[in-house]
Structure 1
Amino acid sequence: MDSTDIDDPMDYHDIDDVSDTEGGFTSDFTSAPQTPSTRHGSPPPTTPRGNSKIISIETSFDAYFQQHARPARTSTNIFSQLVPPLSADEYAAAFANSRNVELTLPNVGQLQKKMETVHKSQMPRFQRELDEGFHLIFYGFGSKRKMLNTLATEHCRKRGHVIVANAHRPQFSMKDLVSSIESIPGLTEMSLPASGLDGQIRRICEYFATPPSGKRKLVRPLYLIIHNLDAPPLRSSRARAQLGQLLASPRIHVAASIDHINAPLLFSSSDLTARRCASSSANPDALSAGAWLWHDLTTLAPYDHELAFADRSSIRGASVSSTSAAAAQTAASGPMTETAAQHVLAAVTQKAKKLFLLLANHQLDALAESAAGANADATTRNGAEAEQDAAIAYDRLFNLARDQFIATNDTALRALLGEFRDHGLVVAANSGTVGAGEMLWIPLRKERLKKLVDWLDAQ
């Protein structure tokens, strides 16, 4: 019996089922043999008699640094937000208030139920078109995830194997899709024609194109339900070519959704006009290409699942990087918050805390002067530009830190700043002014920065 796990990125292969937390660990300290002539250090640590095991319990600070561990960026030009992003709590509160759609569309609930009833009545038609050799694309305003999952569980599952792919997730890749398909019983028993991902795809196509012979029955067809066929992981030419090989099989059918306005540009004229035989045909030499049928599946449902991993939205501000890796990293770690800053500050030395207070107080004073000047000139600037205007030059910060005996040399100052820069608590950028050098600032709003300074003063 086939099973379809709608909540996982892939059916048959749960790529999200990975535990990333560790509990306490037990360590045994034993004395290792040493060479007397070359080892003159202190003896190895020993434990009291009867207590040969030490249990270390993970604290909240350890959990924070484990979850936010990431490699250093090679570029410092990363502060490109037009507006300061909201914290997680502010974003959740604003999103909850925006869910009151009755103010703009009073009958939205009734319309959603009516559209859902109409779409469910068309499910047998969609199933028939898939069996006749067509691929289906669903477009329209609103999330189509629920309707496609209904098509998978209530119709396609009764006729063949079903794989549900959530392509909108940042970690999705063609390798995960192929691995999920290979989880179908009996597929891996065939020999692999070539190594690598292309060889796996060829084996999948050969498996579903094998005609019945003797006691071997006709292989049940495969139905691929792809959420967001226009997602970034499937836009590359290589991913499109690999997916095209799967679609060429006469017994592999696809029902996918699109949401991007330029998604039709992904299809060529030959893709849109080709025709192939029905899946009931056992001829492996049938027409390889399959036609796409487009259906309006407007649901007016919110894009909760699709936008859960988005790196930008109008309420959170622009993303800090345009690369897909940085986008997934931003979606996982999120912007700097007061709680995250407190975790970082609690783990640094007293000199580092004094340096942060020095930088924060200077930035608060500069922001106050900038706000007073803006009110006098009747001009406004967004929060990100104001923070950059309040930045302090590295040379000036070094002089202030040396006068207060925080760092007496350049090496010591850069070592203290390294902790903050690695965790995104201090941002550095080269100034456009000749001779100004490196500029430093804290990427926090004035209100958050003031609360953080008060918290440090209370320590």
Structure 2
Amino acid sequence: MEDEDDEFTLSRNYFLAKETGSSSKKRSARKLSDINIVDEQVLQTAISEILPKHEKEIGHLLKTYKDLYSKWLFELRCGFGLLLYGFGSKKVLLEDFASTTLTDYETVVINGYLPSVNIKQVLITLAEVLSDQLKHKSSTRNKSRSEHPFSSQSVEDLLSYLNVQISHDKDCFVCVVIHNIDGPSLRDSESQQYLARLASCSQVRIVASIDQVNAPLLWDKKMVHTQFNWCWYHVPTFAPYNVEGKFSPLILVNCGNAQTKRSALVVLRSLTPNAQSMPISTLYTKCRERFLVSNQITLNAHLTEFKDHELVKMRRHSDGQDCSYIPLPSEALAKLLEELL
């Protein structure tokens, strides 16, 4: 009798499941737009009120990573690159390593989580840093290359300069710290190829972090083992992506001018003090009078930074000249200035 009851129950559940399945097909017609979207401020407030957990255990975990700093430095000096992966933001960990252990080396930081990164500008900065370093450490530097500004050189020339051999001082190199080398602006094949070639330069060492599970698919065997020459370290920090997340749109909130304004505010606050103080429409002469820039190249670099983040766009005026303009409505600009100042 009990077996018959069980069989009846199974049969009944089967037909109920079929009925439920057919009705669920009708419900599947619902769209994501039907979701009741909340205000971003409400969502951000809710996120900020999430209490941290297991602080003691996480602190002990981070201490074990700090014990690896000397080993990481040794591997960099041997020509390897460091690649940190694992759950949680590694921004603080990388910056702590750079500020405590890489103090004897020039360090350039690339924020790969930004909406746009100019690879050539990165190479120009590295070349300038290395050039200044060689002025103090080397009396046999290539003077012919220093006669031309790096900004006028091609990417190939810049990579060639960074790959110059210095036999008498193998410990003379520039460290490049890349937060999120798998970031949105660096995931394309061309950017990764340039970064791989940069990593293979004799005067460059790269320390980077990844957060996407498919990040290793960005590289082939040559890039991993020959150019980047990675030493992989699993370093989960369980830290929130507070900074990196500001540049990723929240799924359950409205977007639009307000979102653009908030993104612009984050970018502006991340720029250098001189870049923050410089009005876009100000002419070069006025910028120089205010000691914001010393030459046209610096002004162009600032403008390029704004254009890369889409805070400034170009259009041709009726008189044929190229003009810069800010693609934000006036009310958004007014609110932006209020918050920035």
User: Under TM normalisation by the shorter chain, which class is it?
Assistant: 0.5 to 0.7
Which sections of structure 2, spanning at least 5 residues, go unmatched? 1-30, 133-144, 266-327, 330-341
Question: Which residue does 1:164 correspond to in 2?
Answer: 109
Query: Does residue 147 in structure 1 map to residue 93 in structure 2?
Result: yes
Matched residue type, 2:263: A
Deviations 1:396-447 (A, max 9, x none): xxxxxxxxxxxxxxxxxxxxxxxxxx97xxxxxxxxxxxxxxxxxxxxxxxx
Q: CA deviation at 1:114?
A: 0.7
Question: Which residue does 2:193 correspond to in 1?
Answer: 241
- The correspondence of residues 207-246 of structure 1 with structure 2, limited to 5 A, is 208-212=164-168, 220-246=172-198
Question: Which residue does 1:177 correspond to in 2?
Answer: 122
Once residues 262 and 228 of structure 2 are traced to their aligned partners in structure 1, the CA distance between those partners, rounded to angstroms, is 36
TM-score (norm 2): 0.57
Deviations 1:191-231 (A, max 9, x none): 4799554145235424x53445xxxx667211111000100
- Aligned counterpart for 1:250 among listed residues 189, 202, 222: 202
- Aligned counterpart for 2:263 among listed residues 332, 356, 360: 332
Once residues 292 and 228 of structure 1 are traced to their aligned partners in structure 2, the CA distance between those partners, rounded to angstroms, is 15
Q: CA deviation at 1:235?
A: 1.1
Matched residue type, 2:244: E
Q: 1:222/1:91 Cα in 2 relative to 1: closer, same or farther (>3 Å)?
A: same
- The correspondence of residues 121-136 of structure 1 with structure 2, limited to 5 A, is 121-136=67-82
Question: Which residue does 2:4 correspond to in 1?
Answer: none
Q: CA deviation at 1:180?
A: 2.5
Deviations 1:347-400 (A, max 9, x none): xxxxxxxxxxxxxxxxxxxxxxxxxxxxxxxxxxxxxxxxxxxxxxxxxxxxxx
Query: Does residue 316 in structure 1 map to residue 273 in structure 2?
Result: no
- The correspondence of residues 446-457 of structure 1 with structure 2, limited to 5 A, is none
Once residues 120 and 52 of structure 2 are traced to their aligned partners in structure 1, the CA distance between those partners, rounded to angstroms, is 39
Judge conservation of contact 1:168–1:227 (CA < 8 Å) in 2.
yes
Matched residue type, 2:207: A
Question: Which residue does 1:96 correspond to in 2?
Answer: 48
The higher relative CO (CA closer than 8 Å, separation ≥ 6) is in: 2
Question: How many aligned residue pairs are there?
Answer: 226
Residue aligned with 1:138, SS = strand
Judge conservation of contact 1:225–1:254 (CA < 8 Å) in 2.
yes
Which sections of structure 1, spanning at least 5 residues, go unmatched? 1-78, 103-107, 275-288, 321-325, 335-421, 424-459
Judge conservation of contact 2:84–2:210 (CA < 8 Å) in 1.
yes
Judge conservation of contact 1:227–1:256 (CA < 8 Å) in 2.
yes
Once residues 192 and 333 of structure 1 are traced to their aligned partners in structure 2, the CA distance between those partners, rounded to angstroms, is 31
Judge conservation of contact 1:138–1:257 (CA < 8 Å) in 2.
yes
Q: Percent identical across equivalent pairs?
A: 21
Q: 1:200/1:312 Cα in 2 relative to 1: closer, same or farther (>3 Å)?
A: farther
Once residues 80 and 191 of structure 1 are traced to their aligned partners in structure 2, the CA distance between those partners, rounded to angstroms, is 55
Once residues 200 and 90 of structure 1 are traced to their aligned partners in structure 2, the CA distance between those partners, rounded to angstroms, is 50
Question: Which residue does 1:34 correspond to in 2?
Answer: none
Question: Which residue does 2:159 correspond to in 1?
Answer: 202
Judge conservation of contact 1:309–1:331 (CA < 8 Å) in 2.
no
RMSD after superposition: 3.4
Q: 1:330/1:299 Cα in 2 relative to 1: closer, same or farther (>3 Å)?
A: same
Q: CA deviation at 1:245?
A: 2.1
Q: 1:184/1:272 Cα in 2 relative to 1: closer, same or farther (>3 Å)?
A: closer
- Aligned counterpart for 2:225 among listed residues 262, 273, 294: 273
Question: Which residue does 1:113 correspond to in 2?
Answer: 59
Q: 1:163/1:110 Cα in 2 relative to 1: closer, same or farther (>3 Å)?
A: same
Question: Which residue does 2:294 correspond to in 1?
Answer: none
Judge conservation of contact 2:127–2:158 (CA < 8 Å) in 1.
no
Judge conservation of contact 2:87–2:237 (CA < 8 Å) in 1.
yes
Once residues 133 and 185 of structure 1 are traced to their aligned partners in structure 2, the CA distance between those partners, rounded to angstroms, is 17
Q: CA deviation at 1:273?
A: 3.0
Residue aligned with 1:233, SS = helix
Judge conservation of contact 2:90–2:237 (CA < 8 Å) in 1.
yes
Q: 1:184/1:100 Cα in 2 relative to 1: closer, same or farther (>3 Å)?
A: same
Q: 1:211/1:298 Cα in 2 relative to 1: closer, same or farther (>3 Å)?
A: same
- Aligned counterpart for 1:301 among listed residues 211, 215, 239: 239
